[in-house]
Amino acid sequence: MNAQELPSTRPYLVRALYEWCTENGLTPYVAVLVDETVQVPREYVKDGEIVLNVSFDATSSLKLGNDFIQFKARFGGQPRDIMVPMNRVMAIYARENGQGMAFPVHRSEVLEAHSSLNPAGQEPPGTPTGLTAVPKGQETDGLAEPVQSTTTARPTLTRIK
């Protein structure tokens, strides 16, 4: 098998960092570039992106597969099925210290889809229960509403190719 036939390392690294976060009592967050292939509540998408808390306490039936991340969670008290293609995962990191890894995702592939995801001026009604949508410039403390915080670490990410 030559290098062109090798599968992506992304799902393996996502699983490894998820395990690292879990074993160390940290909260794994996944940053996702949203397009039509991503199944998330669109009202929580900001600037074509969403950050999801994928910890054991925030999800049920979590599957970190080679092609997709799938789980069930509650948004605003309503159960939702979430499905994120691995190639749309921009980063996985620990909420508490920001350590993690970023992955290349090409924005040009999703620019057209972005305009239909979150119409101008539409704000999400609140942060989902169990999942966290983190608007740019804001962090969450796990409560039902986004809060400004200077104590939550920003991601310190390692970009891979």
Q: Give the C-alpha separation, 92 to 28, whole Å.
A: 7
CATH number at residue 102: 2.30.30.220
- How many Cα atoms are found within 13 Å in the side-chain-facing hemisphere of 154? 6
Handedness of CA 114, 119, 121, 124 (dihedral sign): negative
Among 61-70, 82-91, 95-104, 122-131, the least confident range: 122-131
Q: Tens digits of per-residue pLDDT, 1-59?
A: 565 788 899 999 999 999 999 999 999 999 999 999 999 999 999 999 999 999 999 99
Report if pTM > 0.85. no
Q: Tens digits of per-residue pLDDT, 89-121?
A: 999 999 999 999 999 987 665 554 444 444 444
Our count of domains for the chain comes to 1
Q: Which domain holds residue 17?
A: 3-159
